[in-house]
C-alpha cells in the first residue's frame, strides 16, 4: 500500500515525508467513524455492567439512599436457598437440553444431508421453529401441556397424565426442555448441515471400498470432520440455555412455587418487583462469571478432543 | 448427478418427523377459527367454518394494529441503522487491526458477547428512565448498540478479506475515507449486510425480555409483549388467544415462506463465521 502513496499528487511534490504526514492525518477519519459508537457502547453496555458490579457491594433497592455493605450480598446469595434452587434448575435444564438438542439436530442433519426427495421443503420445515417467537411458541405449548395432553389422557383413561405436567414440581422442567429442544434444534440442525456439506463425497466412496459400514463411517469420518461444528453447537446451545427466560415465562412463570425459576427469571422477578436490586446484582455478577467460565471450559475441552480425533 | 435414486426410507422418516414441527402450528391455526364449543368437542378437528370472529375480537382487544406498527417500526429502524452503523465501525476497526488501540477496541466490543443480559438489566432500566428513553426509540438504540458485539465480529472477518488496493486507488484519486467506505466497501459488503439484516430482524422482531423491561407505556408494546400482557385476559378462551398468537406469528411466517432460502443461508453464514 505504500507503493500507492508515493504516487500521491496532493501537495505537489510526492516526497516520502509529505506522504508520511498524509498517512498520519488520514486515520482520523477512522477515529470519527468509531467514536460515536464507542461512546454509546460504553454508556449503554459497559456502564450498566460496572453499575451492576458496583451496586452488588451496596444495599441499594433501585432507588433512594444506599450504603456500602462489602461482600454481604455475595454471602447472602451463597446462603440463599432460592438462588441454589435457580442454579440447580438452570443447570439441570441447560445440560439436558444441550445434550438432547445436539443428538436430535445431528440426526436430522444427517437425514437432510442424505439423497432425499423434497430436500428444500424439508429443510425449510425443520428450520422454521428458529424464526418464531419463543414466547408465543411457549404459550402454544402451554396449551398443549395444560389442556390437550390431559384431555387425551383422560379419554384414554391414563390417570397419570390427566393433570398438567406444568403443575408438577418434579416434572414441569421436562415440559420446558421439550419446548426448548423443539425450538433450538432448528438452528443446530442447520449448523450441522453446513458442516456435513463440507465433507467430500470421495471420502465416503473410499471408505465403502475399504468395506466400512455406515456406523464406522459415521464415527471414523463424519464425526471427526464436523467436530468444529460440534464444538460451536455445544457452546452456543449451552450458553443460550443457561440464559433461559422466555420459555419459562410462557410455560410456568417459574412455578409451581419456584420449581422452574431460572437464574435470569430470579434476577428479573426479585430484582425488579422483589426490591432486591443489590442482592440480585450480586447474583448477576456470579452468573456472569459462571457463564464465562463454562464457555471457556467447554471450548478448551472440546477443542482438545477435536485435536485428538 | 448420474444416480437419480433417492433415499426413500430417510425421506419418509423425515416427512414423518415434520409432524412434530407442524403440530403446534396446526393446533394454533385450526383453533384460531373455532368456537370454544367446537374446541371442547375436539381440539384436532378442522373448524366447521372459517369463522373470523376470534380474529376481530383479538384485533380489538389487543389493539393489534398498534402493536404490529410498533414491531414493524422497531424492527425496520433497528435493521437499517444497525447495518449502516455497525458496518462502518467494523470497517474502521478491520483496517486498523495492526494498531494496538483498534485491536483493543475490537476485543472490547466482541467480548460483550459473553456478558449475559441480566447483569445489565437492572441498571439499564434506571438509566433509560433517567434520560427519558423508556420507549420505542430507546429500544431501537439499545438493539443497535448491543448488536455491535456480534456484528463487529462478523463484519471485520469479512472486511479483512477485501483487498486494500481498491481503496488505495480511490484515495489516490482524491476520494475521502468516508467516500471509500460508502461508495466502494459498503456495496461489496452486500452479502454480509444481508446476513446481519436477517439476524437483526429475527432478534428485534421476536425479542421479549428487552421490550418487557424498557417499554413502560402500553401504547408502545410490541407483538410478543402484547401476547404476554393479555395472557391473563384471554383466560380460558383459547380460541381468542390462538387467533391472537397466529396474527402475531404470521408476518414472520409469511416472510419466511417467501425468503426461506435467504433466511436460512443468512443465519448459517452468521453462525459459521463465529
By C-alpha distance, which of B125, B94, B129, B128 is closest to B109? B94
Average pLDDT of the segment spanning A81-108: 94
Rg of the Cα atoms in chain B: 23
By C-alpha distance, which of A289, A293, A263, A298 is closest to A49? A289
Q: Could you give the CA distance from residue A102 to residue A144 in angstroms, rounded to a whole number?
A: 24
Q: Which of B22, B122, B172 sits opposite A271 (nearest CB)?
A: B122
How many residues make up chain A in this entry? Answer: 309
What percent of chain B is predicted at pLDDT more than 90?
59
Instruction: Find out whether A167 and A184 touch, Cβ atoms under 8 Å.
Output: no
A242 CB neighbours in chain B (<8 A) are 116
Q: Which of B116, B176, B205 sits opposite A288 (nearest CB)?
A: B116
A267:B238 CB<8 A: no
Q: Tell me whether residue B41 is exposed, middle or buried, using C-beta atoms within 10 angstroms of its C-beta: 0 to 12, 13 to 18, 19 or more.
A: exposed
Q: Is it the case that residue B150 has pLDDT exceeding 70?
A: yes
Tell me A43's DSSP state: I
What is the secondary structure of A72-106 as a DSSP string? HHHHHHHT-HHHHHHHHHHHHHHHHHHHHHHHHHH
Handedness of CA A124, A130, A131, A134 (dihedral sign): positive
Q: Is it the case that residue B49 has pLDDT exceeding 70?
A: yes
Q: Could you give the CA distance from residue A83 to residue A263 in angstroms, rounded to a whole number?
A: 7
Tell me the pLDDT tens digit for each residue of A34-45.
Answer: 999 999 999 999
Q: Which of A193, A281, A295 sits opposite B114 (nearest CB)?
A: A295
Average pLDDT of the segment spanning A4-28: 46
Domains of chain A: 2-46 (no CATH), 77-308 (1.10.3720.10)
Q: Is it the case that residue A302 has pLDDT exceeding 90?
A: no
pTM: 0.88
Cβ contacts of B124 within 8 Å, gap of 6 or more: A44, A48, B142, B213, B214
In this complex, is the C-beta atom of A125 within 8 Å of any C-beta atom belonging to chain B?
yes
Domains of chain B: 1-51 (no CATH), 64-273 (1.10.3720.10)
Confidence of residue A97 (pLDDT cuts 50, 70, 90): very high
Average pLDDT of the segment spanning B40-49: 81
Q: Tell me whether residue A156 is exposed, middle or buried, using C-beta atoms within 10 angstroms of its C-beta: 0 to 12, 13 to 18, 19 or more.
A: exposed
- Predicted-complex ipTM score: 0.91
Task: Report residue B42 CA to chain centroid gap.
Answer: 35
A1 CB neighbours in chain B (<8 A) are 164-165, 168
Is B245 or B41 the better-scoring residue by pLDDT? Answer: B245
Q: Give, in order, the Cα–Cα distances in Å from A229 to each of A122, A301, B20, B68, B95.
A: 21, 14, 25, 37, 29
In this complex, is the C-beta atom of A123 within 8 Å of any C-beta atom belonging to chain B?
yes
pLDDT for residue A5: 41
In this complex, is the C-beta atom of A279 within 8 Å of any C-beta atom belonging to chain B?
no
Q: Is it the case that residue B185 has pLDDT exceeding 60?
A: yes
Q: Is it the case that residue A257 has pLDDT exceeding 90?
A: no
Average pLDDT of the segment spanning B154-158: 91
B5:A7 CB<8 A: no
Confidence of residue A61 (pLDDT cuts 50, 70, 90): confident
Confidence of residue A204 (pLDDT cuts 50, 70, 90): confident
B258 CB neighbours in chain A (<8 A) are none
Q: Could you give the CA distance from residue A165 to residue B217 in angstroms, rounded to a whole number?
A: 35
Instruction: Find out whether A221 and A204 touch, Cβ atoms under 8 Å.
Output: yes
pLDDT for residue B3: 53
Instruction: Find out whether A190 and A127 touch, Cβ atoms under 8 Å.
Output: yes
Q: Could you give the CA distance from residue A180 to residue A102 in angstroms, rounded to a whole number?
A: 12
**Residue bearing cell 449502516:** B84
A262 Cα to chain B: minimum distance (Å):
11
Q: Which of B10, B20, B178 sits opposite A111 (nearest CB)?
A: B10
Average pLDDT of the segment spanning A169-173: 91
Rg of the Cα atoms in chain A: 27
Q: What residues 7-46 of chain B have any CB closer than 8 A to a CB of chain A?
A: 7-8, 10-11, 13-15, 17-18, 20-22, 24, 27-28, 43
Q: What residues 105-134 of chain B have any CB closer than 8 A to a CB of chain A?
A: 105, 109, 112, 114-127
Q: Is it the case that residue A17 has pLDDT exceeding 50?
A: no
Amino acid at each position: 500500500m505504500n507503493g500507492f502513496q508515493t504516487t500521491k499528487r496532493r501537495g505537489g511534490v510526492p516526497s516520502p515525508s509529505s506522504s508520511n504526514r498524509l498517512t498520519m492525518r488520514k486515520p482520523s477519519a477512522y477515529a470519527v467513524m468509531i467514536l460515536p459508537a464507542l461512546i454509546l457502547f460504553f454508556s449503554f453496555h459497559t456502564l450498566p455492567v460496572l453499575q451492576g458490579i458496583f451496586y452488588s457491594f451496596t444495599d441499594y433497592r433501585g432507588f433512594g439512599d444506599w450504603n456500602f455493605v462489602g461482600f454481604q450480598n455475595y454471602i447472602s446469595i451463597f446462603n440463599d436457598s432460592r438462588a441454589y434452587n435457580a442454579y440447580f434448575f438452570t443447570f439441570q435444564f441447560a445440560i439436558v437440553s444441550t445434550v438432547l438438542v445436539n443428538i436430535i439436530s445431528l440426526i436430522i442433519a444427517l437425514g437432510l444431508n442424505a439423497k432425499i426427495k423434497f430436500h428444500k421443503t424439508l429443510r425449510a420445515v425443520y428450520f422454521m421453529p428458529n424464526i418464531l417467537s419463543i414466547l408465543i411458541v411457549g404459550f402454544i405449548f402451554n396449551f398443549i401441556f395444560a389442556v390437550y395432553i390431559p384431555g387425551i389422557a383422560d379419554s384414554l383413561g391414563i390417570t397419570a397424565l390427566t393433570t398438567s405436567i406444568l403443575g408438577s414440581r418434579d416434572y414441569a422442567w421436562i415440559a420446558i426442555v421439550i419446548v426448548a429442544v423443539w425450538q433450538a434444534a432448528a438452528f443446530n440442525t442447520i449448523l450441522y448441515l453446513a458442516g456435513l456439506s463440507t465433507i467430500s463425497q470421495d471420502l465416503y466412496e473410499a471408505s465403502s471400498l475399504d468395506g466400512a459400514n455406515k456406523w464406522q463411517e459415521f464415527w471414523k469420518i463424519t464425526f471427526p470432520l464436523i467436530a468444529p461444528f460440534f464444538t460451536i453447537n455445544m457452546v452456543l446451545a449451552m450458553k443460550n440455555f443457561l440464559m433461559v427466560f422466555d420459555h419459562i415465562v410462557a410455560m410456568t412463570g417459574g412455578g409451581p412455587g419456584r420449581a422452574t425459576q431460572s437464574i435470569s427469571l430470579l434476577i428479573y422477578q426479585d430484582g425488579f418487583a422483589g426490591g432486591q436490586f443489590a442482592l440480585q446484582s450480586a447474583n448477576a455478577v456470579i452468573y456472569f462469571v459462571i457463564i464465562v467460565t463454562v464457555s471457556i471450559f467447554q471450548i478448551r475441552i472440546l477443542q482438545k478432543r477435536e485435536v485428538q480425533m | 448427478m448420474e444416480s437419480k435414486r433417492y433415499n426413500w426410507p430417510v425421506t419418509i422418516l423425515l416427512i414423518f418427523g415434520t409432524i412434530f414441527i407442524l403440530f403446534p402450528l396446526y393446533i394454533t391455526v385450526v383453533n384460531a377459527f373455532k368456537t370454544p364449543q367446537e374446541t371442547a368437542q375436539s381440539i384436532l378437528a378442522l373448524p366447521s367454518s372459517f369463522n373470523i370472529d376470534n380474529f376481530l375480537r383479538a384485533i380489538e382487544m389487543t389493539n393489534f394494529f398498534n402493536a404490529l406498527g410498533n414491531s414493524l417500526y422497531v424492527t425496520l429502524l433497528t435493521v437499517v441503522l444497525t447495518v449502516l452503523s455497525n458496518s462502518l465501525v467494523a470497517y474502521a476497526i478491520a483496517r486498523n487491526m495492526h494498531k494496538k488501540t483498534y485491536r483493543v477496541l475490537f476485543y472490547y466490543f466482541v467480548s460483550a458477547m459473553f456478558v449475559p443480559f441480566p447483569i445489565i438489566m437492572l441498571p439499564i432500566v434506571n438509566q433509560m428512565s433517567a434520560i427519558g428513553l423508556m420507549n420505542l426509540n430507546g429500544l431501537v438504540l439499545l438493539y443497535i448498540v448491543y448488536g455491535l458485539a456480534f456484528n463487529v465480529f462478523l463484519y471485520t472477518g469479512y472486511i479483512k478479506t477485501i483487498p486494500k488496493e481498491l481503496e488505495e486507488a480511490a484515495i489516490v484519486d482524491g476520494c475521502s475515507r468516508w467516500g471509500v467506505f460508502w461508495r466502494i466497501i459498503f456495496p461489496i459488503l452486500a452479502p454480509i449486510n444481508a446476513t446481519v439484516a436477517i439476524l437483526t430482524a429475527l432478534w428485534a422482531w421476536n425479542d421479549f425480555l428487552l421490550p418487557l423491561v424498557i417499554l413502560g407505556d402500553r401504547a408502545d408494546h410490541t407483538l410478543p409483549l402484547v401476547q404476554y400482557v393479555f395472557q391473563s385476559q384471554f383466560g380460558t378462551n383459547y380460541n381468542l388467544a390462538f387467533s391472537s398468537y397466529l396474527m402475531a406469528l404470521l408476518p414472520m411466517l409469511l416472510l419466511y415462506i417467501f425468503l426461506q432460502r435467504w433466511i436460512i443461508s443468512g443465519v448459517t453464514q452468521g453462525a459459521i463465521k463465529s
